Structure 1
Amino acid sequence: MRPPRRSHRLLHVLILIVLIGAALLLLPLQAQLPALPAMKAGDVSVSGLSSGGYMAVQYSVAYSASVKGAGIVAGGPYGCSRGNVDTATTVCSCTGFGTCQVRAGGTNVPQLTALTDQYAAAGSIDPTSNLAAQRIFLFSGTADTVVPQAVMNDLASYYRHYMASDNISYSKDIAAQHAMPTDSFGSACGTLGSPYINNCGYDAAGRLLHWIYAGLAPRSASAPAGRLLEFDQAQYLPDPTSHGMAASGFLYVPPACEGSGSSSPGQGCKLHVAFHGCKQDARSVGDKFILNSGYVAWADSNRILLLFPQAAPLFPLANPNACWDWFNYDDANFARKNGRQMAAVQRMVQRLTGGGAPPPNTPPPGDVVCFTASNADHVSAGRAYDRFFFAYAQGSGQSMGLDSFFVRSSLRRTAPDNYVVVGSCP
């Protein structure tokens, strides 16, 4: 058989391209992610595993005026990393390439409480006096090789500096590896690996919720009855994937929190924020942390809204494992109220507890909106970020030139965490 002539082959290719294009036109467009609904929940609490545990500690301390309690599984004291990745991976955990240096008292709790007091005095976190009213639940497995028990013991000492021991429940006698312990789902209790949920015959989610919220009803024995909503996180942090957060987060709404008649959505409900651990985001493990870590059954029977904000990998080296920022991989203010991830989650919480509008598009009247400084100072203040020695305006991503003390730029804030380059400030 003779091969088709070249002109025929070209015609066949053109016809194929036209057919593929027509088929693509018939595909539905990807729907835009919905906004987080306005709700009026109360009694805010937080919890988390691993980097999520560190994030829960940061949040409970920085926003102590509005947090009822916290549950920490395999985390450590506030500010433990001092913003240094080597300290984070050798002193506060055993996750680095060097020799693990975790030891009793190794995080230097007196130094960390002094740092906390310094931040509070400067107004960059809420007054530490609020911590005395919080309820704190801690869990550390004796077999945890990632955040060994010595780090959690220091966390208990840190909290005891600010509150009575009676406010702290510390479980540390189960041979669990580094994972979220449950009594019905996951790998064997001593397993280290994805999805970092282990069946240890211990319901950590239920225990911590019971400790924070006294008098809960028994958990639901039925399949989840509520609504799981995926929402747009970019409303709370512009360009979130450039700062270690995913484009979307998740909210679980029990039927009793939907609102009906004269009742507003979320009214009379509690709000619990659950921070996943490294490699435990939805991109990595699907909905396993959301639906199988134990929270949902308690939410259904106790009118608890569950907020699951999502971190994301930040390549190439800054944050490949979708950890939360507890060691300054994106933001020098990572542990303070104006830290990018911290402030983003706080805005989500405000949306779910205040029932108001999404974050405003313009700064408050009279607020400072224009800044002239060196590019290095802009980066240090969080108005810009560094990529390979060059500075870029936070939010807009506009290039500002070298990240240096010798190069000066003017930035105008047009929205929370969004700056544009201007010629000069008035």
Structure 2
Amino acid sequence: MFNILILGVTGVSAATLRAYNVDPGLVSVSGLSSGGSMSVQLGVAYSETFKIGFGAFAGSPYDCARNQSYADCMSNESPLITTPTANMKSWSGNEISAVDNIESRKIYIQVGSADTTVGPNVVDQLNTQLSSFDNSANITYVTTSGAAHTFPTDFDASGNNACTDSTSPYISNCNYDGAGTVLQWLHGTLNPRNTGTLSGTIVSFDQTGQYGAPGMDTTGYLYVPAACQGSSAICKLHVALHGCVQGYSQVGSTFIKNTGYTMWADTNDFIILFPQAIQDNKYYTIFGGKKLSNPNGCWDWLGWYGTNADQIGGVQMVAIVNQVKQITNGYQGNSSISTASSSKTTTPSSPTGATSASSSAGSAEKLINKKQAILALCGLDLLLILIFA
């Protein structure tokens, strides 16, 4: 049984985001579902900022919804990736960072075998798309056996749902340490996580101005371990993006506390940045011309807030990149610091319940199709209740 530390948010009101001694060459990002898709967007469009790489838990292919219905990018469909991949190539070095950067980035991809909200077929296409740009040795693709649409952990935490359920808060004990696995894939072998009382603090910051954008909350959060609160230690930065219905305004600090990112951060000199999206009931014209609101606080993978939502200049991505730049602005080291600085102790083992995508490609659990998903949720608009949760 792990001891989950109940951490309070410091300060009565959110403070100005401060700089820390964080190496800008040691920055990575991961997220669940809409957060996974946003991680892919950030990792592709801003690969010069996320120099380590990115991780996607149940994320869709890059630019998936621009030239096809967003419903084709979820519900275990097999979305087309020819045009999105061609866009990556034609935008390279202009609308997005040079795609040649991707070849040297570490990429982590995960999906639950029983996920019917996004689904293995969608994630298969993400893997295929990214594999055409990256060295295969840099990509790991994991299917977690029996897991639904949820962030997988290997410990119980108050309020979490069962691994087989796609329900709030979309975090589950699936006998698979998602946070630890993605961090170790991206950054290399790490010290064992802290399963007891954590040393650090959750810090709230003002997520407005250059650090905010439409569809984002006014407050964001950092987990800062004790070692990173001063200036002596050179720390790493990982951005952890919640999914829909997982923002602070909806589930409080559950995503921050229950996913396990902070446990690994505490013993490995990571600052974890938790940007926050928020519900938006206004209707916008998304990719493809459909009018749609964002009532579940999803990250923008549909073009709610501009046709450049997944390109350089996309307002939510700009806000997150500005947060990263401010945090790393206190770096006191030099460029000789290795971007693969991971000569720590324990090597991650293969967690129970995880199988490779290749071994599970023919799984009988890949049964649901788009029509079944829509019928089950009584209409496409209601599908947003679970869309990229």
Q: Distance in 2 between matches of 1:40 and 1:161?
A: 35
The residue aligned with 1:334 is 309
Kindly provide the CA deviation profile for residues 124-158 of structure 1, in whole angstroms up to 9, marking residues without a partner as x.
21101110111111111110010010010001111
Q: Which residue of 2 aligns with 1:227?
A: 201
Once the two structures are superposed, residues 382-406 of structure 1 have per-residue CA deviations (whole angstroms, 9 ceiling, x without a partner) of xxxxxxxxxxxxxxxxxxxxxxxxx
Higher RCO (C-alpha under 8 Å, 6+ residues apart): 2
- In the other structure, the counterpart of 1:56 is 39
Task: State the one-letter code of the partner of 2:174.
Answer: C
The residue aligned with 2:63 is: 79
Gaps of 5+ in 2: 1-10, 284-292, 332-389
1:41 aligns with 2:22: yes
CA displacement 1:48-97 (0-9 Å, x = unmatched): 0010000000000011123211111110111001177xx22x11113xxx
Root-mean-square deviation (CA, aligned residues, Å) is 1.6
The answer (yes or no) to whether the contact 1:83–1:328 under 8 Å persists in 2 is no
Superposition deviation, residue 205 in structure 1: 0.5
Q: Deviations over 1:184-211 (max 9, x none)?
A: 1322110111000011111100000010
Query: What is the Cα deviation at residue 110 of structure 1?
Result: 2.4
Tell me the matched-pair count.
Answer: 306
Name the structure 1 match of 2:327: 352
Alignment partner of 1:113 is 2:85? yes
State whether residues 83 and 327 of structure 1, in contact with CA within 8 Å, keep that contact through their aligned partners in structure 2.
Answer: no
- Where does the alignment leave 5 or more consecutive residues of structure 1 unmatched? 1-29, 95-101, 357-426
Q: 1:135 aligns with which of 83, 87, 106?
A: 106
- Quick check: 1:91 aligned with 2:63? no
What is the aligned counterpart of 2:228 among 248, 257, 260? 257
Tell me the TM-score normalized by structure 2: 0.76
In the TM superposition, residue 330 of structure 1 has moved relative to its aligned partner by: 1.7
Match of 2:265 in 1: 299
- Find the structure with the greater CA-based Rg: 1
Cα distance change, pair 83–290 in 1 and its aligned pair in 2 (3 A): farther
Q: CA offset at residue 234 of structure 1?
A: 0.5
Letter in 2 for 1:245: M
Q: TM-score, normalised by structure 1?
A: 0.69
Q: 1:56 to 1:259 in 2, by over 3 A?
A: same
**Corresponding residue SS for 1:156:** helix
Structure 1 residue 159 displacement after superposition? 1.1
In structure 2, distance between residues paired with 1:74 and 1:173? 11
Instruction: Report if aligned partners of 1:218, 1:301 keep a CA contact under 8 Å in 2.
Output: yes
Q: Distance in 1 between matches of 2:60 and 2:136?
A: 17
Q: CA deviation at 1:40?
A: 2.9
> Does the 8 Å CA contact 2:21/2:228 hold for their aligned counterparts?
no
Q: Percent identity?
A: 40
Where in structure 2 are the equivalents of 1:22-421 lying within 5 Å?
Answer: 32-42=13-23, 43-67=26-50, 68-82=52-66, 87-88=69-70, 90-94=71-75, 102-103=76-77, 106-121=78-93, 123-185=94-156, 186-237=160-211, 240=213, 243-260=214-231, 263=232, 267-317=233-283, 318-355=293-330
Call closer, same or farther: CA 1:281–1:164 in 2, change over 3 Å: same
